[in-house]
Structure 1
Amino acid sequence: MRVSEHVHPVSSRPTAADVALPPALPYPDGWSALAFSAELPPGTVLTRQLAGEDVVLYRPRNGRLRAIRPYCPHLGAHLGLASVEGNDLVCPFHRFAFDTDGRCVRTGYGTPPPKAALTQLPVREVNETVFVWRHHAGREPYWEIPVWHRLGGRPLRYTSFEMPGYAQDVMENSFDLGHFVTLHGWPQGELARPVEFDGTGFHISMRVLETFPLLGTRQVDVEVDGYGLTALHTDVRTPSLGLEMCSLVMATQVAPGRMQLRQASRFVMNEPDSLPPVIARALSRAMTRLLAAPMFKYSLEFTSADFPIWSTKRYVSPPRLAAGDGPIGAMRHWARQFYPPDQHAHLPEAAPPADGNCQGSPGGEAAPNGTRPEDPDKTPSGAAQG
């Protein structure tokens, strides 16, 4: 029997959250990753989405990356269709050309160019990734993505995904200690010390037990640095095996309830102290080349275990937290700074568990001297002791 191409099998899968649910969170302010540097060699023009709008990225021949609003100031052609000629971006409609400062420098007719310019957006190229700044009120960048260490000398491995979900969920994942055991299968995972919040960033240290094929259960040290609702940098070290991997996970809100996720990593096998230096160096290089691809695949599989959850979950606020969850409430309180102030009423704090045993930062974590930090909003937050 021939079936029409317009007919599809009946699905029993959960409905994607961006279809099933109304938008739950506004677009966050700050930097957002839109590409990897390797995707933009000189002469390239790319169109990427950010907060419901197109952004055009292009690299002139001089290598100076540019991010602009997408429509030509002449008659509105989309500049994602433009070409790079030398250091100029040339609109395909009437061949008006714009220099690297965004000024119109010639027309396609040989007539004097009008006083017109492209609208340029703040852009940074950090850690082989392209970040574009967006702020709901047009505020200029007031924090930066730091340069992280380069682990080893191998090329960066990277990939990108698009799915329903929120950038905040990706960042919140690092605070959700419980799900590392229940979803990811760690035999044990705990905070090595309280979470540290510092302005627009945070730091998490974890001690983890992980089971390796043929090698048994080993301690793994995990250090996570977060910046805005933008990027996670994770250092994973297994001292007993000499393994070290650093990963970048970056979520970008492209539409209501929809995000793009970019992940990159480098891996190195450290030189064994027990061997002569020449042999240790050769073994380290050989094992790093051999294991780099499998370790990247493992890293992606670990992250992708969350994809079905992020894609179908509802943002619950306030959540009913329990002992063992980790400092989710503190994270949500910290995250409020990245949303427009008039949206705060729609972002209620996480409710502390019944036992009142809270940890975390603003309003939930004891400061190093044992006192509680001042909470500017006087709103309780925090989560159960993990």
Structure 2
Amino acid sequence: MKNEFSRSTSRWLAGALLAATLLGCSKPPPAPPKAPPTPEEKSKNTISKAAFGTLPDGTAVDLFTMVNANGMEVRATNYGGIITALLVPDGTGKATDVTLGLKSFDDYVKNPPYFGAIIGRYGNRIAKGQFKIDDQTFKLPKNDGPNTLHGGVKGFDKVVWQAEPFEKEDSVGVIFTYTSKDGEEGFPGNLQTRVTYTLTDKNELSLDYHATTDKPTVVNLTQHAYFNLAGDGNGDVLGHEFTIYADGYTPVNKQLIPTGKIEPVTDTPFDFRNKVKLADRVNVDNEQIKFGKGIDHNFVLKKKDPKALTLAARVSEPTTRRVMEVHTTEPGVQFYTGNFLDDTLAAKAGKPYAKHSGFCLETQHFPDSPNQPEFPSTVLRPGEEYNSKTVYTFSVR
């Protein structure tokens, strides 16, 4: 086959050169047609880089596109580690974007809603914008009423990360690194942070977090992707079916700060231990649901081994038959049902995002842990390593 193609190409090139000579053409003939891709080339995992935008200070930002052998595609930028698109096949094999996002890079800079971003140093809320380590008080900027949310005014979602793409036989990905300086957003210690995004040929998006510090500090990293398994812009997620493998949750006050208690989910709207439609849980008369205008709560996962990679949640969408499973080493997951989306964002699909247009499953330590001694500690000290892993796996049923 290859010899036949080579002979035909040579004959074409010789003919083109003869015609050019006879016609007195000064321009070289056009390039010969390319050989069709081999099956091996079609099935290869690939990664590419392109310019995405420029910050006001002149810093150039890139966009990385990862594609696996099954047609799943992840696009992520080194500005905040934002996942701008996530294309996943449905039951017919058609790949559709299943994550919410904005139209342009400028929209992410001007109106950042945390869509698809790395969250740090501390994901979720810290009450009253302060905490203590070893009797020393550290004060943080308050960007959520009287509290600090998602790392402060300029968290990890609004910085440019160093990015190193890689290719392996069964996966592709990007290694993002960032040094958060001592005192940044009020947090102590120089924090060396590494977050690796890996797309495998098993339709897994793996997120690996690593950090070290030179002073005692607190760390709680997560990913803030909003999902809609029916496809971005295709209505709300109230018909999605959820299973969350948690026997307990952390109740909150009106400011969405945990009370410090861990309550059983039994006989509450937070019982997702058996598959249930989201509409059956958010459209109820419940004080906790009213506080969050829906679900915006931390679920305490069932884990025999605290450090093991454990199934946290399973979500299915009936019309497309897409399924997403979430495994994590973290003790909790913040389930957020897009309660504060209000039709104001420049959605990439061209349709404004209304309430419940997407959901988040943010794997994490518990909110306000630095001020809650009964919660698992988020303190990281010199000589220790912060390691966390979360895997989103996509399939069809």
Task: Output the TM-score relative to the length of structure 1.
Answer: 0.26
Structure with the higher helix share, 1 or 2? 1
More strand by share: 2
TM-score (norm 2): 0.26
